[in-house]
Structure 1
Amino acid sequence: MERLCLDCGSPIRGRADKKYCDDSCRSNYNNRLNTEDNLVIKRVNNILKKNRAILATLNPNGKTKVSGKKLVSAGFKFEFHTSSYETQNGNTYTFCYEYGYLALNEDSYLLVKREESLG
């Protein structure tokens, strides 16, 4: 049975376990695999960055109240966030990096900015 290169499909000569006809095909094949995997990560990171930018824009002073409609109309996606924090009294703040929100009622949110050092 003739073995074919995983990248270009041309016949392979040489070792029995060889998968590619040359280094260029090996590199192309692996780059294509990594690109497909990285697209999902890139899309999620772009959504997280957009959520953070929306929270930062709507909360320039570190603490404010906004409606959920305002967040949604700006393009905010509630299902994407980086962390959450539950207070001692049971409130759960949801964060997108250092900017977060607390649901107050059906359509009202308290936006906050967490001040902390990374080091």
Structure 2
Amino acid sequence: MSDKTKKKLCLACNSEISGRADKKYCSDYCRNAYHNELNKDFNTYIRRVNNVLRRNRRILARFNPKGKSKVRESTLLEEGYNFGFHTNVYNTKKGGKYYFCYDQGFIKLDDGWVALVVRQDYVR
């Protein structure tokens, strides 16, 4: 069988493909299924990180209903806050660091306290 008469098979389901010569999948469903399978591990990791970030934001928002408050660091930990995950860091001119989960943030204070803030100018 020559290359011109050889039938191409779908990369996802191995069914015969008809149509354009450079076609790789028999349908949009198969194209999506193939790429979802390729990215499965990456998508699982991203989903887990996003879940942690969303949980962190919910915890900060619950303890900061008015836009500014103070809470013990240990209280956030007891609620399940993970200090290793945040979306961005804002460095102050005095050398302090605000850690944000989207629009909700905090800065560490002395003696185990953190000041909670809401970033007003987050989207520019």
TM-score (norm 2): 0.72
Equivalent residue for 2:53?
48
Measure, in 2, the Cα distance between the counterparts of 1:30 and 1:84: 33
* 1:75 matches 2:80: yes
Q: Distance in 1 between matches of 2:122 and 2:85?
A: 23
SS of equivalent to 1:111: strand
Secondary structure class of the residue paired with 1:55: helix
Shift of 1:46: 0.8
Structure 2 residue aligned with 1:87: 92
Partner of 2:102: 97
Q: Quote the Cα distance in structure 1 between the aligned partners of 2:43 and 2:11.
A: 20
Partner of 1:16: none
Render the CA deviation track for 1:41-80: whole Å, top value 9, x for unaligned: 0110111011000000000011111001110011100000
Question: Could you tell me which amino acid in structure 2 is paired with residue 68 of structure 1?
Answer: E
1:13 corresponds to: none
Question: Equivalents in 2 of 1:75, 1:101: separation in Å?
Answer: 15
Instruction: Give the Cα–Cα distance (whole angstroms) in 2 for the partners of residues 96 and 45 of structure 1.
Output: 10
RMSD: 3.1
The total of aligned residue pairs comes to 117
Instruction: Flag structure 1 segments of 5+ consecutive residues without an equivalent.
Output: 10-18
| 1:108 maps onto 2:110 in alignment | no
Q: CA deviation at 1:86?
A: 0.9
* Runs of at least 5 residues in structure 2 that lack an aligned partner in the other structure: 1-9, 15-23
**What is the TM-score normalised by the length of structure 1?**
0.75
- 8 Å CA contact 2:71, 2:114 repeated in 1: yes
Quote the offset at 1:27 in angstroms.
5.5
